[in-house]
């Protein structure tokens, strides 16, 4: 077994047993190396892996932020993995879109049961910001992605929210590439804004089925549009 795997499993066991938790510091490199019988470079390698997975954050210096601290950023780790697998072109973009529609259709149905949820108020605020005609495509799609994450968060499922956040981060560059190929982005953006508001209206009216139909049509429709105009290598 690679030495860094020993460290990873040790940290996992400590988290599962409650000996480590969010905000707690990992033991120092020397202590971990001696305790587990591995080298300090092996410990450093394991910590880099844990950082990439969104499990820890490392700080320098001598203050309270120094050392390696347990954090909770599951979306960061998932997004990094998705970006890499998208780059291999062996993870079909269409399958990620299908995953989005499954998560979002479920989420908006659930969100419709709590139409006063604060994340829905955040979604409405994001829509107002998206009406700014001075927004470029990059800024627009960051707000767009945040809107969809807010809808998912309103359903109260932390796993779905983490996956949606990861999908947002992993697909951003791909979406911008697709937008650049569209013949009339301003017309597309106006249509997307109308669809966003229609989705949110259905949720706030408590009509989960209608919201699910609208969000599915919205996500799949944009995907079909970009596939129609994008080059084969970007699909």
pTM of the full structure: 0.80
Please state the rounded mean pLDDT for residues 180-206: 92
If DSSP codes are grouped into helix, strand and coil, which group holds residue 35? helix
Per-residue pLDDT band for 233 (boundaries 50, 70, 90) equals: low
What domains, with CATH codes, occur in the chain?
3-70 (1.10.10.10), 75-234 (1.20.120.530)
Q: Residue 34 above 60 pLDDT?
A: yes
In whole angstroms, give the CA distance from residue 141 to residue 128: 14
Beta bridge partners of 232: none
pLDDT, tens digit, 9 for 90 and up, residues 208-222? 999 999 999 999 998
Please state the rounded mean pLDDT for residues 179-195: 88
What is the maximum span of the chain, computed from C-alpha positions, in angstroms? 62
Return the closest-CA partner of residue 108 out of 40, 181, 201. Answer: 201
Q: Residue 1 above 70 pLDDT?
A: no
């Amino acid at each position: 077994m690679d030495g860094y795997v020993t460290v990873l499993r040790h940290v996992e066991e400590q988290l599962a047993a409650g000996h480590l938790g969010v905000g707690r510091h990992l033991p120092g490199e020397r202590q971990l190396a001696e305790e587990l019988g591995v080298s300090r470079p092996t410990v450093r390698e394991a910590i880099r892996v844990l950082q990439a997975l969104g499990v820890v954050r490392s700080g320098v210096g001598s203050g309270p932020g120094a050392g390696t601290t347990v954090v909770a950023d599951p979306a960061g780790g998932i997004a990094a993995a998705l970006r890499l697998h998208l780059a291999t072109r062996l993870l079909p973009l269409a399958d990620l879109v299908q995953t989005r529609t499954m998560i979002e259709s479920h989420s908006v149905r659930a969100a419709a049961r709590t139409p006063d949820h604060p994340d829905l108020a955040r979604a409405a605020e994001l829509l107002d910001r998206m009406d700014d005609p001075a927004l470029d495509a990059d800024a627009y799609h960051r707000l767009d992605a945040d809107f969809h994450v807010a809808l998912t968060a309103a359903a109260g499922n932390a796993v779905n929210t983490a996956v949606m956040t990861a999908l947002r981060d992993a697909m951003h560059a791909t979406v911008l590439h697709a937008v650049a190929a569209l013949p009339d982005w301003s017309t597309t953006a106006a249509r997307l804004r109308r669809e966003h508001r229609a989705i949110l209206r259905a949720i706030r009216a408590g009509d989960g089925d209608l919201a699910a139909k609208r969000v599915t049509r919205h996500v799949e429709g944009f995907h079909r549009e970009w596939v129609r105009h994008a080059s084969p290598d970007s699909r």
